[in-house]
Structure 1
Amino acid sequence: MTDGLFIAFEGGDGAGKSTQVALLRDAFEAAGRTVLVTRQPGGTPLGREIRDLVLHGDHVSPRAEALLFAADKAHHVEQVIAPALAAGDVVLTDRYTDSSVAYQGAGRDLGAQEIHDLNMWAVDDLVPDLTVVVDVSAQEGRRRRGEVHDRLESEQDDFHEAIRAHYLAMAQGNPQRYLVVDGTLPPEDVHEAVVQRLRSMGALP
């Protein structure tokens, strides 16, 4: 990669990731950088079909769910993320491989290491320069989502708390690559914490 920068936002459903992605896009564009905003699943036409199938279709077995999400990531990296990074752009993604490790590995109890290995193979070992975990409780996420839930969002709180715990464990195990922010803070305060971390990395002025 040249001067491309890859940042992923992770966290439970309703944590406020998309708000933070938008705020950070504005900050990078104000600094003169070209920014690509994308998401997983759904960052490509194929990804949108996979997203609709898995999140809004009929029952999908846990292993099939993991494989479909891995297929989305493989295609997304090759078609969208890798070319943008090679061009020197900033790539901001709402979810990346850690979502699969947390949701299918921990939440579905398929094995975190197995899902991690599957996803690393799918993305050819491409990892973000920084992963921001926007942390909220399962109860708070449910409150924010209101009455509309997709197939994963509709799982019980213990499923979402297992996911939350795994995100926090991943971040604790690799603090150089992760930043955990309190998603119950005002969005501007969360954004400022992200900006400060990126300034310490020399990624923002």
Structure 2
Amino acid sequence: MSLLLELIRVVNLPYTVVFGLMLFYWFSVVLGIFDVDLFDFDVDDIDFGDELLGALNLGKVPFSLWLTIFSGQMTLYSLLFNKLIDVLFGTVSDPVRFIVCFVVFVPIAALITKIATSPMEKLFEIETISRKDFVGKECRVTSPEVNERSGVGEILVTGIPSILYIRAKAEEGLKKNDRAVIYEYNEEKDLFYVTRVEGLD
């Protein structure tokens, strides 16, 4: 209970909220609701600070992964920092606590996040593969069903699962774990049109 009270303490709350949202996001990714690349961006499209962002591995690994590691650290640092302030100095205003913690620990958290994500860079080099190349390949349905309005599938690219938004005619009757073949890709909407693999019920 004391940990929960510290997590929702005003001075710690911003970091707790961000970290909590990221945990909820990853839970949703596991369920197939969101794509792991939902929040991705290309640092080359940023006119200011792109070199610094690239040096921190932003744009090289999914931003959602980077932010999860970063916000998790900041939550921990804020908890420890404010407990230490309580013990050493007693009453210090929340704005002062927040500013000092932010200035001191954000660079540390960013550096450690860069170090932690560096070994993962090669895992995400598959993003250089054109999504058009998926046409003609099989995928596995991961959503409860697939129809003209909704559906999620998974395809293995160099052994790594990649989540796709797929659509199919309702009469195909595609359900979770069914195999389907991709026959068309809508680049504008980032949608893959699939049909049941021939020979399967």
Q: TM-score, normalised on structure 1? A: 0.28
Bigger Rg, which one:
2
